[in-house]
Amino acid sequence: MSAHDQKAADAVGPSIWVLHSTGLGANRQLTNLAAALGGEYTVKDTLDLPWRAFIDRLTGSRATIPAAKSALLHAPWPDLVLFGGGRSWLDAVRIRQASGGHSRIVCIGRPGAPFDSVDLILTTPQYGLPRHPRIVHLDLPLNFVDPSRLAEVDPHWNERFGHLPRPWVGVLLGGDSGSYRFDVKAARRLGRSLAELCRRQGGAALLTSSPRTRPEVLDAVLAELEVPNFHYRFAADEGPNPLDAILALADALVVTADSASMLAEACSTGRPVAVFEPPLRRRARLFERSWLPSWPAGLWSRWADFQNHLTARGRWVPARRMERIHRSLTERGAIARVENFDPGTAAVAAGSDDLARAVAAILALLPRSGSDTDGSPVPPLDCSSSCR
């Protein structure tokens, strides 16, 4: 490739394949990152069912793309493959192998595989991954809200909310998750906390549910919310979804603790953010250290080092624990608990440089000439200034 052609290619940006993942939040992260990198990206829907992916990882070849997927995964190979989670890991490895090492593979979240099998991992605190040369630790998922999107919110929402007293407290309701059980009892507790908050501030609540919010949960919140409010019941009410309007117009935001994506969206607005934490599920409580034996600190440290060693080799997958990301943000003053939330406090930025650090780390991986496309392993990323 001539210097002129290389310069033109760099200006256009890398060619990117996005391997479709599970969940709207995960896919939004992948496409947000692909868009930020520039160039063209294509979404490839090759995700296997969990049982099929498990068997394939045990018995399938890493060197050959299965015939059933060859219609989607074929040359010309991309410069970059973005994927989220372990179910897409094997397809990403196969693409890199088929490309002769040209395609770099980047995981968002955790690969559930040896770290050295992936060129780069972009992770967030809830996954509990250790420090490693190929990992960049981000504050929040890349589910930021584009400011231009919020700037284009239909003005009629100001009229819909205009009769309500300020400050407006936006409330994003999630649902059950692997860590939390958002039941009616918890919903009533949230409703009482919101009512107390709005009465104390003299304001109103703007609520929106999500696809995971059970109808009885929203009903329970509203039953306790004896203050001025607006509410939207997802997929039941007719008319446009007010989520963007709430993110754009609310003076402060409250998010249920089950969703890291909703938390990232709220924090990206630059408004004060609080989290409501439903009760932990029984299996999630098993990982709480408070009830475990009080082993000497040195023994805990050696056990943690052993776990980290197994994790880096793909032999151990730490439990996804949302309280890790909440604790990280709370310690920095970026979020508060809804019970002691003051919407008038100045917001503390969180995740504001995550996207820039992720893009810089990926661009450092991509080949700028034909000299590093011979299939040899990518040298470990030196992210001493960007990993944390």
The pLDDT of residue 284 is above 80: no
* pLDDT tens, position by position, 260-277: 999 999 999 999 999 999
How large is the C-alpha radius of gyration of the chain?
23
Read off the pLDDT of residues 134-148 as tens digits, 9 standing for 90 and up.
Answer: 999 999 999 988 888
**Among the listed ranges 35-39, 224-228, 286-290, which one has the minimum average pLDDT value?**
286-290
At 85 the pLDDT is 86
Say whether pLDDT at 298 is over 80.
Answer: no
- The candidate with the shortest Cα–Cα distance to 331, out of 125, 108, 162, is 125
Residue 197 has pLDDT above 50, yes or no: yes
Average pLDDT over every residue of 246-263:
94
Query: What residue ranges define each of the domains in the chain, with the CATH number in brackets?
Result: 3-138+353-372 (3.40.50.2000), 159-281+325-340 (3.40.50.2000), 287-319 (no CATH)
**Tell me: the pLDDT tens digits for 359-380?**
999 999 997 644 444 444 444 4
- pTM for this one? 0.85
Name every residue whose Cβ is closer than 8 Å to that of residue 317 and which is 6 or more positions away in sequence: 86, 110, 112, 311
